[in-house]
Structure formats: C-alpha cells, structure tokens
C-alpha cells in the first residue's frame, strides 16, 4: 500500500515555521513584488490563482516560411554519391 499523499519520513518545514513567521515571509514577498520583483510577482500570483493553463490549439492551418542565406546551400551530388 502506498503512503498517503503528502506524507514523508522527514519532518515537514511547516513544523518548524510558525504562523507569525509565515505572515512575516508573506509580507516580505508582497513588498518585493510591489517593488518590481517580477519573479516574486509571478510566484505570488501562481500561489493565489494557480498556474496559467498552457493550451495548444492543434486545429487550423499552419504555414511556415523559411529563408536560408547562401551559407545553407547544399552542394550538388557528386557522381557515384548514394545519399538521398
């Protein structure tokens, strides 16, 4: 039988951090986000709203135009060359 989700043999960090510590750390995180720390902004928003879903639309038509410069030209096949 598998362990219950979230259980571990190691102590959880929650047992070492009190409610006051969590409030203090949250205040620091909010201040950093408000001062322009983009990573902290993203972290806090993901904690509040969850990660943004990554959707991929596979329908419709796709076209791709690629332009190669002279350095990508393929040399003509030599006589007796068996490459395709």
Q: What pLDDT digit, counting tens, does each position of 36-66 carry?
A: 999 999 999 999 988 877 777 777 787 777 7
User: 31 lies in a domain?
Assistant: yes
33 contacts 40 by C-beta, under 8 angstroms: yes
Domain count, the chain: 1
User: 28 lies in a domain?
Assistant: yes
User: 76 lies in a domain?
Assistant: no
Q: What mean pLDDT value characterizes the chain? A: 80
User: 47 lies in a domain?
Assistant: yes
Confidence of residue 12 (pLDDT cuts 50, 70, 90): confident
Structural domain for 29, as ranges: 16-52
1 contacts 15 by C-beta, under 8 angstroms: no
User: 70 lies in a domain?
Assistant: no
User: 44 lies in a domain?
Assistant: yes
3-state secondary structure of 32: helix
User: 42 lies in a domain?
Assistant: yes
User: 21 lies in a domain?
Assistant: yes
- Does the pLDDT at position 83 exceed 60? no
User: Looking at residue 24, what is its pLDDT?
Assistant: 95
- Does the pLDDT at position 10 exceed 70? no
Radius of gyration of the chain (CA): 27
């Amino acid at each position: 039988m598998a362990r219950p989700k979230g259980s571990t043999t190691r102590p959880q960090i929650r047992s070492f951090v009190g409610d006051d510590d969590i409030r203090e750390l949250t205040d620091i995180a909010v201040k950093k986000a408000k001062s322009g720390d983009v990573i902290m902004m993203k972290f806090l928003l993901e904690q509040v709203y969850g990660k943004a879903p990554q959707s991929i639309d596979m329908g419709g038509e796709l076209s791709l135009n690629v332009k190669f410069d002279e350095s990508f030209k393929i040399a003509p096949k030599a006589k007796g060359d068996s490459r395709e």
